[in-house]
Amino acid sequence: MPSSRSLRRISLLIALACSHAAALESARPPGLGANDTDRFQPGPPEAAARYTRTDWVLVWHDEFAEGPAPSPTRWTYEHGIVRNHELQFYTTDRRENARIADGRLIITGRREPWEGAAYTSASLTTKGKFTLTYGKIEICAKIPTGRGTWPALWLLGDEEKTGWPLCGEIDLMENVGFDPERVHFTVHSGAFNHVQHTQRSRAIVVDQPWAEFHRYGLIWSPQRLEFFFDGEKVFEFVNDGQGVAHWPFDSPHYLILNLALGGAWGGQQGMDDRILPADFSIDYVRIWQQPSK
């Protein structure tokens, strides 16, 4: 039988191990949990069939067929150093950071001095132009890669009325360049968000997701949010009926397309200036709804 001294030593080692595990868990980036990642594989066939059903009605889209700039009737810009301790200054209507070329929207992150920042990029939104409540969204995009990049496709509720995270946030796609083969799908609300480490998320591992265009999709209904990658369901968040703090997704949300550099998550392993300029290419944005019955 171990002596009391040996037992104390064993207890101390267990406590240290648990403390180390807790520290590692607290250091995980938003969207990355202990058991929520795996290699991408086809989802349920019934979900894929729901996604491709023929009675979806196209209600809003941008094919980026005309340039040289994003259409001001569809898009506006975030301006300045906006959030998450990111390094870039988001510029407005500047071709070096957002342009239309070859039928695509190109958002470019650059290393250059700009109004007190050392980097520039762009964040385009439909705020004040278009909002959506329920429907199907598909965005075909090719992400950049490299340490410090943080491209995102997401939707946000009216934060000016309720504040974040009560307004609701749906992250259709996020990727951080220091962990380049992991693609994240995340939901934030008053009850579930990364500040409290309670966000609801899934990350999939994809071989070189930056090497080609992929389709990032969402079916949004009053019952659930279903996330799709190349037409296959990869994650869902279900309305549990516990009120707006759990489910703020019965109200309009607008789209955001942005390329951040550095920041609280994207910059956790620094910024590699050698990869800049970096391009985030969006081939199209399409939104459908079901016909009224």
User: In Å, how far from its chain's centre is CA 55?
Assistant: 28
pLDDT tens for each residue of the chain, 293 residues long? 444 444 344 343 333 333 333 332 333 344 334 345 588 988 999 999 999 999 999 999 999 999 899 999 999 999 999 999 999 999 999 999 999 999 999 999 999 999 999 999 999 999 999 999 999 999 999 999 999 999 999 999 998 889 999 999 999 999 999 999 999 999 999 999 999 999 999 999 999 999 999 999 999 999 999 999 999 999 999 999 999 999 999 999 999 999 999 999 999 999 999 999 999 999 999 999 998 75
User: What pLDDT does 2 receive?
Assistant: 45
Give CA angle at 50 (45, 51), nearest 5°.
95
User: In Å, how far from its chain's centre is CA 195?
Assistant: 16
Known catalytic residues are 169, 174
Q: Which two tokens stand for residue 177?
A: 């360049």
Q: Is the pTM of this model over 0.75?
A: yes
CA-atom Rg of the chain in angstroms: 21
Q: Which two tokens stand for residue 151?
A: 């491209």
* SS3 at position 187: strand
User: What pLDDT does 11 receive?
Assistant: 41
With beta carbons less than 8 A apart as the criterion, state whether 136 and 287 touch. yes
User: What pLDDT does 28 receive?
Assistant: 34
CATH top-level class for 32-289? Answer: mainly beta
Report the alpha-carbon distance of residue 41 to residue 38 in Å, rounded.
9
Long-range contacts of the stretch 33-36 (C-beta < 8 A, 24+): 33/201, 36/201, 36/202, 36/203
Structure confidence by residue, pLDDT tens digits, 154-193:
999 998 889 999 999 999 999 999 999 999 999 999 999 9
User: What pLDDT does 145 receive?
Assistant: 97
Report the alpha-carbon distance of residue 200 to residue 31 in Å, rounded.
7
Domain ranges of the chain: 1-30, 32-289
Structure confidence by residue, pLDDT tens digits, 27-51:
334 433 434 558 898 899 999 999 9
With beta carbons less than 8 A apart as the criterion, state whether 214 and 141 touch. yes
Residue 35, CB half-sphere, CA atoms under 13 Å: how many?
0
User: What pLDDT does 293 receive?
Assistant: 59
Report the alpha-carbon distance of residue 73 to residue 75 in Å, rounded.
6
Q: Which two tokens stand for residue 66?
A: 């005309």
Report the alpha-carbon distance of residue 61 to residue 7 in Å, rounded.
66
User: What pLDDT does 15 receive?
Assistant: 37
User: In Å, how far from its chain's centre is CA 79?
Assistant: 19
Report the alpha-carbon distance of residue 68 to residue 66 in Å, rounded.
7
